Amino acid sequence: MKVAIYCRLSEEDRNKQFETDDSSSIQNQKAMLLQYAMGQGWELYNIYSDDDYTGSDRRRPEFNRLLQDAERRRFDIVLCKTQSRFTRELELVEKYIHGLFPIWGIRFISIVDNADTANKGNKKSRQINGLVNEWYLEDMSENIRSVLTNRRENGFHIGSFALYGYKKDPDQKGRLLIDEEAAAVVREVFTLFAQGCGKTAIARMLNDRGVPNPTEYKRLQGLRYRQPKMKNGALWKYSAISDMLTNEIYIGNMVQGKYGSVSYKTKQNKPRPKSEWYIVEGTHEPVIDRELWDRVQALIAQRAKPFNVGRIGLFARKARCANCGYVMRSSQNHNKHYLRCANRYVSKDACIGAFISVEKLERLVLDELNRLSAEYLDKDELERNIEICDNLQGLRSRLLSDIAVYQKKIAEYSKGIRELYMDKVKGLLSESDYVEMSKDFAAERGRLERAAADGEKRLSEIDARIAAGDNRRNLAEQYTGLEHLTREIVEILIDYIVVGKRIPGTRDVPIEIHWNF
């Protein structure tokens, strides 16, 4: 039996000499689990170790690698110190420990709380463990939330990153100090806008002078920063200037809570209405004086143009430039709406630019949607697809049966190799006979393992074909015959659209639609 050991520690280990070292607690977990596995006579496949991760974090790298290897049937047992080391979420207990692991032929064992899926009688205790861990997560989340809320209401800064133009006070936690080098750039931005310069023009001026944007500035200063997701991540953008000009932190007010978590189970955040923000005035020294701030806010209000939100926002944050990957911005000219890559205008060599009208993009999307509808809703085609789907289901069943046979024979050959070794140790088998026979057994086991792996690969391909066929038909049926798109339809159907530069000598603009199905 091959065993995979999983270890996890959530609290930062104070005993580490180097960041790359495993914590002492992780080392203790490994020692305990290795000793247990050896006592059972199991073969170690791999040790998966996540240090400084909580049991509710589904993005744990080693945890996800273990799940991928489990799905590929690379081991027979998952061994942990406690069930909570594997996960604290009841949903994942049911999904993996009680759901997918048995399907994949994998046994789950945790030593301290005696969880063992081979023991059918303790399923309820495993579920109770999961429920207790779930309550622990919820209570801990509420406690942390109440502490953070109290600190926000009292004007303490609790973010991981100080706003550009400020730095964290090393002597007083939660207090901001002015970073004079960055603050000078902030004052320049406000002054230029007050003198009549546009946001894109200001971004271009800073880029032409080689002024690092907030992320690049923090990186160069050795400060904590968020890794940019797009190309040209070191450039100033329209959005950075726009956000800066309306941020009250620059006049000494602490503004927090603009985003709130969706649930304690996920790290995803969503915008909160301004009425729910935490705004405390006069908590730190202002970078911008009140007179300049008021003048800039008045100009922003004057420049705001009413527009048809439904049309301009149709592809908001969905269209991306094929050259630089930047999200395309909306613009309006002669009552027509367009999408363009703003990177072309913020720096000389930032991007060759992409440009398309909203009307044209809508038509291209509808044409492709109708093409899919025709492909998947044709009656004869539907019948053929259903017949093909039935054939695929039959092939899937046969593959599952073959894989099960392979796995059983692989286990028999592995057992045979172990028994040969014991016969050699006992003196019942000569060294030469053992080498020859075990070599034959290992070769046959290797052939079966390759056959099983090939079968699993084909099984994944068949599952993908079945799922894709059914999903496309269902979605195409709902959205066939449309004359116009709505924002709701775009959200449901489209992940994002890549827009290229117009093909010279034609009116054609290449696009690539990434559907949600």
Is 90 exceeded by the pLDDT of residue 183? Answer: yes
Q: Is the pLDDT of residue 13 over 50?
A: no
| Residues 104, 9: Cα–Cα separation, whole Å | 27
Which residue in this structure is represented by tokens 């779930």?
Answer: 134
The structural domain count of the chain equals 3
The helix-helix angle for 180-194 and 238-245 (nearest 10°) equals 90
Contact 270, 260 (CB under 8 A): yes
Q: In whole angstroms, give the CA distance from residue 258 to residue 277.
A: 6
pLDDT of residue 76: 95
Model pLDDT for residues 428-456, shown as the tens digit of each residue? 777 777 777 778 788 888 888 888 888 88
Lowest mean pLDDT among 265-269, 290-294, 510-514: 265-269
Percent of the chain with pLDDT over 70: 78
pLDDT of residue 475 exceeding 50: yes
Q: How far apart are CA 131 and CA 137, in angstroms?
A: 10
Contact 175, 169 (CB under 8 A): yes
Spatial distance between the Cα atoms of 205 and 346, rounded to a whole number of angstroms: 8
Query: What is the mean predicted confidence (pLDDT) over 508-512?
Result: 89
Domain interval for residue 201: 154-303
- Nearest residue to 290 via CA among 239, 347, 252, 240: 252
Q: How far apart are CA 138 and CA 144, in angstroms?
A: 10
115, containing H or E segment: strand 115-116
Say if residue 324 is in the same domain as residue 354. Answer: yes
Judge contact between 372 and 472, C-beta under 8 A.
yes
Domain boundary among 96, 131, 151: 151
- pLDDT band of residue 308 (cuts 50, 70, 90) is very low
* The last residue of a domain, from among 122, 151, 180: 151
Answer whether 417's CB lies under 8 Å from 438's CB. Answer: yes
Same domain for 100 and 206, yes or no, is no
End-of-domain residue from the set 303, 321, 352: 303
Greater confidence (229 vs 208) lies with 208
**Are 261 and 377 in a shared domain?**
no
**Mean pLDDT taken over the chain:** 80
Give the CA radius of gyration of the chain: 30
- Regarding whether 466 and 317 lie in a shared domain, the answer is yes
Do both 113 and 15 map to the same domain?
A: yes
Residues 181, 273 within the same domain: yes
121 and 83: one domain?
yes
Work out the average pLDDT over 303-314.
Answer: 51
Asked if residue 508 and residue 383 are part of one domain, the reply reads: yes
* Contact of 98 with 126, CB cutoff 8 Å: yes
Residue 111 sits in the same domain as residue 216: no
- CATH code, domain carrying 227: 3.90.1750.20
Selection from 195-209, 265-279, 319-333, 347-361 with the highest mean pLDDT? 195-209
- Confidence class of residue 14 from pLDDT cuts 50, 70 and 90? very low
Whether pTM exceeds 0.85 = no
CATH code (residue 122): 3.40.50.1390
Mean pLDDT score, 176-204: 90
141 shares its domain with 162: no
* pLDDT, average across residues 382-393: 54
Lowest mean pLDDT among 246-260, 289-303, 330-344, 416-430: 416-430
401 and 508 part of one domain? yes
Instruction: Name which of 215-224, 260-269, 476-485 the model is least confident about.
Output: 260-269
* 119 and 200 share one domain: no
- DSSP H or E stretch at residue 126: helix 123-153
